[in-house]
Amino acid sequence: MITIDLDQIKDLINVEILVQRVEEGFIQYSNGNCVVPPVGELLFDNPSGEVHIKSGYVIGGDYYVIKIASGFKNNYLGGIPNGQGMMLLFNQGTGEPLAAIKDDAYLTDIRTAIAGLICAKTLSNEINRIGIIGTGNQARLQAQFLKHISECREIVLWGRNKKNTEKCKKDLMQFGFLVEIVNLPNEVSQSCNLIITTTSSKTPLLKEVDINEGTHITAVGSDTPFKNELEPSILSMANIVVADSISQCLVRGEISHAIKTNDITKEMVIEIGTLLSSSNIGRTQKEQITVSDLTGIAIQDLNIAEFIYEKYLGLNK
């Protein structure tokens, strides 16, 4: 078994190919060609942290993956990155371990940003301003990856912590963005037709009355049953509600909350893979409101781990 560390991983990244791989994975998943067990989860109170364990494979493929990714928000006090973890890649035919990809959750962040790019590319109107709620790594990556599909370089940013928000603004400006900081989350939605929520909030930050016609929202923060960034009625007013995995979003993410409050039903939700494989589903009018709920599925992890492993071995270019 080989070990691939973070510095090596970063040298192997190819965004264009990874977008294609993740799109293919979403389609395979929605077509029923994948086996993905429920998410394993460990939650900690003291210190506060969470660990997600995801696994899966494509039927008839070469590999299966087990991904362990954690987030401990107080790690910075000891000079340790909040994100930790690795992806373990195995031979699907024999069970032999092939690679330990020690990414410190970097690839989880990358594949989430790629999923956000795919949702914006597929559902958003031409972007006039980008609204970002949250100031962590995912806020930065979502903006960076949007540069692959949009010429928009204006961001409206909100964060709870003033110091972290100013640091995030500085970083985003180094990526070539003009950044305006606002005092309240609903100020983000006033002038932005693309909104990305990236927080760990357990109470809604945006309400139905905050959302304008023509808006697309990509919600990536609610990856446990307890997190909630959007008022559930936002999903009921949306013309299109998209999940990365319907079965997973029934128990975690924004969709799970909207179903519990009877704002939507399971039948009102479509998967990204279905959206990508059909030319008849998606935004049809500029005035429509669309929402994508990204909880992260193992097929994304599998496709990115497979690419990193084969690129490391020189099997793909």
Give tens-digit pLDDT for 78-126. Answer: 888 888 999 999 999 999 999 999 999 999 999 999 999 999 999 999 9
pLDDT of residue 316: 64
Q: Which of 75, 73, 4 is closest to 305 using CA atoms?
A: 4
Confidence of residue 287 (pLDDT cuts 50, 70, 90): very high
Q: Which of 217, 213, 182, 183 is closest to 198 using CA atoms?
A: 217
CA end-to-end distance (rounded Å), the chain: 22
pLDDT of residue 281: 78
What does pLDDT average to over the chain? 95
Q: Which of 123, 57, 65 is closest to 308 using CA atoms?
A: 65
Provide the token pair at 301: 């992890």
Confidence of residue 259 (pLDDT cuts 50, 70, 90): very high
CA–CA separation, 229 vs 205, rounded Å? 5
Contact 277, 31 (CB under 8 A): yes
Q: In the predicted model, is pLDDT for residue 317 greater than 60?
A: no
Query: Which residue type does 24 have?
Result: E
Q: What is the pTM of this model?
A: 0.93
Helix locations, 15-136, DSSP H: 15-30, 106-123
Cβ-based burial of 116 (10 A; exposed 0-12, middle 13-18, buried ≥19): buried
